[in-house]
Copies of this chain bind each other. A is one copy, B any other.
Amino acid sequence: MRQAVTAAHACRLVNHGPTVLVTSAHGGRRNVMAAAWSMPVEFTPPRVAVVIDKSTYTRELVLASGRFALNLPCRAMADVAYTVGSTSGRDEDKFARLNLATFDGSTPGLPLLGDCVAWLECRRIPEPHAEAKYDTFFGEVVAAWADDRVFANGRWSFRDDNTALHTLHHLGGGHFALPAATLQGRKL
C-alpha cells in the first residue's frame, strides 16, 4: 500500500542509486522518460539532482511547468523502464501506448506512475548554468511516497518474498542489476 514518506526519509528512497522514471506535464501534454543518472544532494530539505538531456521532450515540460517527479520502477516494470528510455514522447503518448496507470500525488497535474514502488514529487530549482552545461536539474522534494511492502519506517526492505518490487539499477542496453541481497557493514 502507498504511504507518505516524511521529508527526513525522502532521500533514502534514491540513496542506493536506482534507475528512475521522470514524469512531467504541462498544458495538457505529459511525458515519462527513464533516467539512470540521479542522486540526492541534500537530506534536509530533501533535494535531488537528475540529468535531463537537451534533446528530450521531458526537458521542455519541466522547464515550462517547473515540476517533475522521480518514479522508481521495480523488477516487474523492467520492460516498461527500458521501453520508455528508448522512445520519445514527442512521437507518441507513452502512457497511452504502454497502458500506464497514473495517480495524482500532491502536485496538481503531475502524473505519478501507479506501478512504481516509490515517488518523489519535485519542484525545479532553476539553475540555468548547470542545466545548460551538464544537463543537470536540481529539485526540491515537495512530497514523497513509497509502497510499504518494500519501504517502511524509513528503510528499504528487499526480501525474497517481494522480489517483484525490487528497484532497478541500469547497467546499460536494457540490462538491469537488482538488489537481491543486502548486508550490514561493521565499524572497524
- Give chain A's interface residues, CB within 8 Å of chain B: 12, 15-19, 36-42, 47, 49, 51, 75, 78-83, 86, 98, 127, 129-130, 134-136, 138, 154-156, 158, 169-172, 174-188
Contact = CB atoms under 8 A, between A and B. Distances in A.
Given A37-B41, A41-B134, A42-B134, A183 B78 contact: yes
Contact of A136 (B49, B81, B178): B49
Most buried by B among A172, A177, A179: A177
B36 A41 contact: no
Contact of A182 (B134, B171, B183): B171
Given A15-B36, A185-B81, A41 B135 contact: yes
A86 B79 CA distance: 38
Contact of A171 (B15, B42, B86): B15
B39 A49 contact: yes
Given A15-B36, A41-B135, A42-B135, A179 B182 contact: no
A172 B134 contact: no
Contact of A181 (B39, B49, B80, B177): B177
20 contacts: A12-B171, A15-B171, A16-B19, A16-B36, A17-B19, A40-B51, A41-B134, A42-B134, A47-B134, A82-B186, A83-B185, A98-B188, A129-B129, A174-B184, A175-B184, A175-B185, A176-B184, A177-B181, A177-B182, A180-B181
